[in-house]
């Protein structure tokens, strides 16, 4: 009993911080989501029941920004498999492997904001090195085409409309959303996912690979039937974390690179919540959107737990 | 082990108590500290220094890092807001008032003989007044003119008109001043302007955001369409101004006043639409030979007025000193300083005349101060509607202007969509707020 009391006192500072700065605001925001609380006190705060959630169903902006969020997650599989591929390369026993690992992980040490500013310069349609290279390639191949406007264009490879949920041929092309996807893939490939895969690869039993090799298994079959199943728990973990991260993403990029534009095409749910709460001061409605986002994250995670692990192992 | 951990815990608690007990008193050296949230304009330091010289009992700490609207409101509502802060337009003023942060200083100013309705440029009314009460004391006025590099124009044998002129006169001049290399890459633009400043184009076409009663958005009217069409044509038809891509390359530097100003200062544009406050940056460029004339307009000699106004946090623990600071913004010393620093021009027309205003001995090359006064004389305030917050209007207009600027919508389509969406937002607001709906209906009463 005495031990428990002492442990409690040691845990108290952390617990108090968690309760005051995390648990309480979360519970508070749930309560607020049922009200019309607005920091610009145009009318008294009232309990609205589920009205905010009802409004959300008919709010075109919410669906557009949800679509933006999901669209930006299209890069996720590429980022995961890219990280796996890189980890496999870095798991080889070659000279200077430590240096290679360090160099490829280095961008993860850099500040995200600094990287975003760097990419903003890379994407400059007139002076950026990406378009510069493309112009040279187009000239060499005699291709008569304009280089993409990247962060300044509302176009996208699917043709999502700008002002309503739907597709339109006029928006087909490459634009800001795609630019953010490519940047996201680059940032994710050499990051923590690669490290997780690297750690998992070192745990794949050597004797299994050797035995299969002796039986004449090809490199692909070695990967397909031995390495991949052994990596399944790691893949599952990375997948779940990527889904969670993807649904919550977009705030920093919008704040630093695009301010949610052009024409709101890079506004994600996370940035929308910020904008609702701190630019439009609709705290009640912003809380409702935040809780719906939480429900999406929870739902996606539960689906993953239900089906994801088995699927990864069965592949 | 247990002893060690207990000792660490005790040491942490002891250190916390020590820090709490020895924290410096808020009024260091007997002087009352005031926190002023403004922009990061380097001129502010000299302005606070002048105030402190006149008021030795008060120290002003400038906090540009908290200058975002949402930060000021959230901090103030949480009880840790600044004592005084600046609003840059009518939307911000309304937001501060509605959120209960700004202090009503109507009676306070009256008791000191200040009548802002009488004494400041009418173009600044939205920065000072909200629903008939006074909240802000304007600290400067900016109304944009056309800057030009005099030596570039001389070389081309061009003399710009002084006074009122039209876009039709400007376009051939801007075309002549736009220089390209043999590959077609632009070396020098004829004219630079900021897309965020679409209200200035609106003013020149006498385009209205709302009907006079504020009940209906009318940006789909021909005047507004013509204003936006002109912005688009300058980029895509006449090709005298930068495209969005070219413009984005101007704004990567960051910091106060970057972007179009630095581009103009580097002579990448022969002319540029901007305010007198640009001098706070342009003065640091060596060898510029600058001139200013009124900006061309569409149909009417009218320019958009904008500026700063200083507000007092009604929950400030140093209200007396904060009000003192706010009144300082209307003092002759401060107004003279604003004019000398070229932080726009003083918001009180009485201060913008005489030799001291027209000729700054430190900058004899600036022979155009009378032009700025004339532009301010012809300036009009931003429009606000009581039935929709200006932030929502600005957001909707930005979406549509983005689409026009990117060449994906015609001016007519964009303004039609803007009017439709803004009117839908007004209707939604009325549905949610019975008091607002009553006010809307009451306008029908004779």
ipTM: 0.81
Q: What is the average pLDDT value for chain A, to the nearest integer?
A: 90
- Integer CA distances (angstroms), B18 to A207, B23, B348, in order: 61, 9, 51
- Determine which helix (DSSP H) or strand (DSSP E) holds A184, and give its type and residue range: helix A176-189
At residue A314, the pLDDT reads: 56
pLDDT tens, position by position, B348-405 = 999 998 888 899 889 999 999 999 999 999 999 999 898 998 888 999 999 999 999 8
Q: Kindly determine whether residue A281 and residue B73, on different chains, have CB atoms separated by under 8 Å.
A: yes
Distance in angstroms (rounded) separating the CA atoms of residues B257 and B277: 9
Residue A125 banded pLDDT, cuts 50, 70, 90: confident
Residue B84 banded pLDDT, cuts 50, 70, 90: very high
Compare CB distances from A154 to B5, B249, B403 and report the shortest one's residue: B403
What average pLDDT score do residues B84-98 get? 90
**Interface membership of B336 toward A (CB under 8 Å):** no
Please check the confidence at residue A131 and state whether its pLDDT lies above 70.
yes
Please check the confidence at residue B34 and state whether its pLDDT lies above 60.
yes
Stretch 39-68 of chain A: residues touching chain B, C-beta under 8 Å: 39-43
Alpha-helical runs (H) found in A40-175: 51-58, 60-72, 76-90, 97-105, 112-122, 129-140
- Min Cα distance A262 → chain B (Å) is 6
CB contact at 8 A, B82 and B63: yes
What's the 3-state SS for chain B? CHHHHHHHHHHHHHHHHHHHHHCCCCCHHHCEEEEEECCCCCCHHHHHHHHHHHCCCEEEEECHHHCCHHHHHHHHHCCCCCCEEEECCHHHHHHHHHCCCECCCHHHHHHCCCCHHHHCCHHHHHHHEECCEECCEECCEEECEEEEEHHHHHHCCCCCCCCCCEHHHHHHHHHHHCEECCCCCEEEEEEECCHHHHHHHHHHCCCCCECCCCCCECCCCHHHHHHHHHHHHHHHCCCCCCCHHHHHHHCCCCCCCCCHHHHHHCCCEEEEEECHHHHHHHCCCCCCCEEEECCCECCCCCEEEECCEEEEECCCCCHHHHHHHHHHCCCHHHHHHHHHHCCCECCCHHHCCCHHHHCCCCCCCCCCHHHHHHHHHCEECCCCECCECHHHHHHHHHHHHHHHHCCCCCHHHHHHHHHHHHHHHHHHHHHHCHHHHHHHHHCCCC
At residue B423, the pLDDT reads: 97
At residue B250, the pLDDT reads: 62
Nearest CA in chain A to B425: A59
User: Which residues from B are below 8 Å from A6, CB to CB?
Assistant: 2, 6
Q: Which of A181-195, B20-34, B70-84, B148-162 bottoms out in mean pLDDT, i.e. has the lowest?
A: B20-34
Distance in angstroms (rounded) separating the CA atoms of residues B347 and B128: 11
- Min Cα distance B207 → chain A (Å) is 23
User: Which residues from B are below 8 Å from A36, CB to CB?
Assistant: 432
- Min Cα distance B215 → chain A (Å) is 17
**Exposed / middle / buried, residue B218 (Cβ in 10 Å: 0-12, 13-18, 19+):** middle
CB contact at 8 A, B212 and B203: no
Which pair of tokens denotes residue B249?
Answer: 């390359």
Q: Kindly determine whether residue B433 and residue A10, on different chains, have CB atoms separated by under 8 Å.
A: no
Q: Kindly determine whether residue B402 and residue A149, on different chains, have CB atoms separated by under 8 Å.
A: no
pLDDT tens, position by position, A33-84 = 999 998 877 678 899 999 999 999 999 999 999 999 999 999 999 999 999 9
Compare CB distances from A121 to B9, B69, B252 and report the shortest one's residue: B252
Which pair of tokens denotes residue B408?
Answer: 């994906």
Taking the CA atoms of B152, B153, B156 and B157 in sequence, report the sign of the dihedral they define: negative
Nearest CA in chain B to A117: B252
pLDDT tens, position by position, B270-326 = 999 999 999 988 999 989 999 999 999 999 999 999 999 999 999 999 999 999 999
- Min Cα distance A188 → chain B (Å) is 25
CB contact at 8 A, B140 and B338: yes
Q: Kindly determine whether residue A149 and residue B2, on different chains, have CB atoms separated by under 8 Å.
A: no
CB contact at 8 A, B11 and B300: no
What average pLDDT score do residues B2-9 get? 82
- Min Cα distance A127 → chain B (Å) is 7
User: Which residues from A are below 8 Å from B249, CB to CB?
Assistant: 124, 126-127
Residue with the larger pLDDT of the pair B419 and B43: B419
- Min Cα distance A239 → chain B (Å) is 34
Residue B424 banded pLDDT, cuts 50, 70, 90: very high
Structure-token match 């040491």, residue found: B11
Distance in angstroms (rounded) separating the CA atoms of residues B426 and B421: 9
**Interface membership of B244 toward A (CB under 8 Å):** yes
CB contact at 8 A, A157 and A178: yes
- What is the DSSP pairing of strand B186-192 with strand B269-274? parallel
- Determine which helix (DSSP H) or strand (DSSP E) holds A7, and give its type and residue range: helix A2-18
Which pair of tokens denotes residue B238?
Answer: 């006449």
pTM of the model: 0.85
Compare CB distances from B406 to A6, A124, A153 and report the shortest one's residue: A153
Stretch 37-76 of chain B: residues touching chain A, C-beta under 8 Å: 69-70, 73-74
pLDDT tens, position by position, A250-280 = 899 998 899 898 999 999 999 999 999 988 8
Residue with the larger pLDDT of the pair A106 and A51: A51
Nearest CA in chain B to A277: B70
pLDDT tens, position by position, A224-233 = 899 999 999 8
User: Which residues from B are below 8 Å from A278, CB to CB?
Assistant: 70, 74
Distance in angstroms (rounded) separating the CA atoms of residues B360 and B341: 10
Please check the confidence at residue B254 and state whether its pLDDT lies above 50.
no
Which of B144, B369, B112 lies closest to B264, judged by CA?
A: B144
Nearest CA in chain B to A13: B9
CB contact at 8 A, B141 and B344: yes
- Integer CA distances (angstroms), B333 to B53, B337, B345, B440, in order: 11, 6, 13, 44
Please check the confidence at residue A313 and state whether its pLDDT lies above 60.
no
Residue B113 banded pLDDT, cuts 50, 70, 90: very high
Please check the confidence at residue B445 and state whether its pLDDT lies above 90.
no
- Min Cα distance A152 → chain B (Å) is 7
- Local structure of residue A146 (DSSP, 8 states): P
pLDDT tens, position by position, B191-250 = 999 988 899 999 999 999 999 999 999 999 999 999 999 999 999 999 999 887 777 766
What average pLDDT score do residues A76-94 get? 92
Distance in angstroms (rounded) separating the CA atoms of residues B89 and B74: 19
User: Which residues from A are below 8 Å from B70, CB to CB?
Assistant: 278-279, 281
At residue B253, the pLDDT reads: 46
At A35 the three-state DSSP class reads strand
Residue with the larger pLDDT of the pair B244 and B141: B141
Q: Which residues of B180-203 are buried (b: 16+ CB within 10 A; e: fewer)?
A: eeeeeebeebbbbbbbebbbbbbb
Which pair of tokens denotes residue B176?
Answer: 């002549």
**Interface membership of A262 toward B (CB under 8 Å):** yes
Residue A312 banded pLDDT, cuts 50, 70, 90: low
Q: Kindly determine whether residue B95 and residue A264, on different chains, have CB atoms separated by under 8 Å.
A: no
- Give residues with Cβ within 8 angstroms of B328, minimum separation 6: B51, B54, B55, B334
- Local structure of residue A142 (DSSP, 8 states): T
User: Which residues from B are below 8 Å from A124, CB to CB?
Assistant: 245, 248-249, 252
Please check the confidence at residue B26 and state whether its pLDDT lies above 90.
no
Compare CB distances from A263 to B74, B248, B402 and report the shortest one's residue: B402
At residue A94, the pLDDT reads: 86
For residue B343, report the phi and psi dihedrals to the nearest 5 degrees: -85, 70
């Amino acid at each position: 009993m005495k031990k428990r009391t002492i442990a409690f006192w040691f845990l108290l500072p952390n617990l108090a911080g968690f309760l005051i700065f995390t648990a309480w605001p979360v519970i508070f925001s749930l309560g607020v989501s049922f009200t019309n609380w607005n920091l610009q006190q145009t009318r008294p705060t009232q309990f609205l029941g589920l009205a905010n959630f009802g409004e959300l169903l008919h709010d075109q902006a919410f669906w557009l920004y949800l679509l933006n969020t999901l669209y930006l997650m299209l890069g996720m599989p590429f980022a995961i498999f890219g990280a796996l591929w890189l980890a496999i390369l870095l798991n080889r026993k070659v000279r200077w492997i430590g240096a290679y690992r360090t160099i490829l992980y280095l961008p993860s040490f850099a500040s995200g904001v600094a990287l975003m500013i760097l990419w903003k310069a890379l994407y400059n349609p007139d002076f950026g090195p990406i378009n510069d290279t493309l112009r040279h390639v187009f000239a060499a191949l005699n291709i008569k085409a304009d280089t993409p406007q990247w962060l300044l264009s509302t176009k996208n490879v699917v043709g999502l409309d700008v002002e309503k949920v739907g597709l339109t041929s006029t928006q087909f092309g490459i634009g800001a959303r795609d630019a953010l996807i490519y940047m996201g893939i680059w940032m994710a490939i050499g990051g923590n996912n690669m490290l997780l895969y690297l750690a998992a690869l070192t745990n794949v039993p050597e004797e299994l690979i050797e035995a299969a090799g002796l039986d004449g298994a090809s490199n692909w079959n070695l990967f397909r039937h031995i390495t991949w199943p052994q990596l399944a728990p790691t893949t599952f973990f990375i997948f779940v974390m990527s889904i969670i991260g993807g649904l919550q993403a977009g705030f920093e990029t919008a704040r630093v690179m695009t301010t949610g534009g052009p024409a709101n095409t890079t506004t994600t749910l996370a940035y929308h919540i910020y904008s609702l709460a701190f630019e439009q001061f609709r705290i009640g409605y912003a809380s409702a959107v935040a809780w719906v986002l939480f429900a999406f994250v929870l739902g996606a995670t539960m689906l993953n737990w239900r089906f994801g692990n088995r699927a990864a192992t069965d592949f | 082990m247990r002893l060690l951990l207990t000792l660490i815990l005790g040491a942490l608690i002891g250190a916390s108590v020590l820090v709490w007990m020895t924290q410096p008193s808020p009024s260091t050296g007997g002087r009352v500290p005031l926190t002023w949230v403004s922009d990061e304009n380097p001129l502010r330091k000299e302005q606070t220094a002048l105030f402190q010289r006149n008021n030795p009992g008060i120290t002003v700490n400038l906090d540009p890092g908290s200058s975002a609207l949402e930060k000021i409101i959230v901090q103030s509502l949480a009880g840790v807001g600044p004592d005084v802060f600046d609003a840059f337009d009518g939307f911000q003023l309304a937001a501060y008032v509605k959120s209960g942060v700004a202090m009503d200083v109507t009676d306070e100013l009256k008791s000191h003989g200040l009548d802002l309705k009488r004494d400041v440029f009418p173009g600044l009314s939205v920065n000072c007044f909200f629903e008939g009460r006074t909240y802000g004391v304007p600290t400067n006025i900016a109304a944009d003119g056309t800057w030009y590099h005099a030596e570039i124009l001389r070389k081309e044998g061009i003399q710009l008109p002084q006074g009122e002129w039209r876009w039709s006169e400007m376009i051939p001049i801007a075309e002549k001043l736009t220089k390209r290399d043999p590959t077609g890459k632009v070396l020098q633009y004829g004219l630079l302007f900021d897309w965020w400043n679409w209200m200035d184009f609106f003013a020149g076409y006498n385009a209205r955001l709302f009907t006079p009663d504020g009940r209906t958005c009318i940006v789909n009217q021909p005047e507004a369409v013509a204003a936006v069409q002109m912005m688009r044509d300058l980029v895509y038809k006449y090709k005298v101004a930068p495209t969005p891509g070219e413009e984005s390359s101007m704004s990567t530097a960051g910091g106060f006043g970057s972007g179009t100003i630095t581009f103009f200062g580097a002579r990448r544009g022969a002319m540029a639409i901007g305010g007198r406050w640009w001098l706070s940056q342009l003065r640091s460029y060596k060898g510029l030979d600058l001139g200013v004339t009124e900006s061309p307009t569409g149909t009417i000699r009218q320019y958009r007025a904008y500026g700063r106004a200083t507000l007092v946090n009604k929950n400030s623990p140093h209200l007396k000193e904060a009000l003192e600071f706010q009144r300082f913004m209307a003092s002759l010393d401060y107004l003279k300083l604003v004019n000398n620093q070229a932080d726009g021009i003083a918001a009180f027309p009485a201060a913008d005349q005489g030799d001291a205003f027209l000729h700054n001995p430190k900058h004899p090359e600036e022979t155009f101060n009378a032009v700025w006064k004339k532009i301010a004389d012809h300036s009009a305030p931003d429009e606000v509607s009581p039935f929709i917050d200006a932030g929502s209007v600005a957001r909707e207009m930005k979406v549509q202007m983005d689409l026009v600027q990117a060449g994906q919508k015609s001016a007519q389509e964009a303004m039609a969509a803007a009017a439709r969406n803004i009117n839908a937002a007004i209707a939604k607001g009325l549905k949610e707020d019975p008091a607002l709906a009553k006010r809307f209906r009451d306008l029908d009463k004779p």
